[in-house]
Amino acid sequence: MEDLDKVTAVEAVCFPPAEAADREAFRARIQCFPQCFFVAEIDKEIVGFINGAATDERTIRDEMFEDASLHSPQGCYQSIFGLDVVPKWQHQGIAGELMEHMIQDARKRGRKGLILTCKDRLIGFYERFGYRSLGVSASVHGGAVWYDMILEFAE
């Protein structure tokens, strides 16, 4: 919770206002699923973070972004609501390290895999981690066109 203002500021830099989670959304997420919220720090400065609820659903619904109580601690899938890295630190492997950490954490927790939505320009980035596209998402979050992505672990 001590990082609330800092992660809110990072989000505001990384996403347009219509798509960015606000302070209260982050407060609720940190309270409901702190074990699914990881930050990257350099010299004690938060330069990025990754977060998302666990769910039994194979795709993210818009309601999940707003209602942290939809988190299901024993859910089959770890969702990714946001993977943020401040512009100054982008393209230096931080996003990849955050994603790898979340993937390993999901494996350790016995999840079946991870889900996320992304814009078309990021599909290739997520495919490098083993995600595959399920096509255009039903999500209309922030008025953008999103694609559902899933990474399923081998049984």
pLDDT at 36: 95
CA distance 110 to 79: 14
For range 22-36, the mean pLDDT: 95
CA distance 90 to 95: 8
pLDDT at 38: 97
**Main-chain dihedrals φ then ψ at residue 84, nearest 5 degrees:** -115, 135
pLDDT at 31: 96
For range 9-28, the mean pLDDT: 95
Residue boundaries of the structural domains of the chain: 4-152
CA distance 72 to 34: 13
CA distance 54 to 37: 11
Homologous superfamily of domain range 4-152: Gcn5-related N-acetyltransferase (GNAT) (3.40.630.30)
Q: How confident is the model at residue 79 (pLDDT cuts 50, 70, 90)?
A: very high
Query: pLDDT per residue over 47-77, tens digit each?
Result: 999 999 999 999 999 999 989 999 999 999 9
Query: pLDDT per residue over 103-130, tens digit each?
Result: 999 999 999 999 999 999 999 999 999 9
Residue 102 above 80 pLDDT? yes
pLDDT at 11: 96
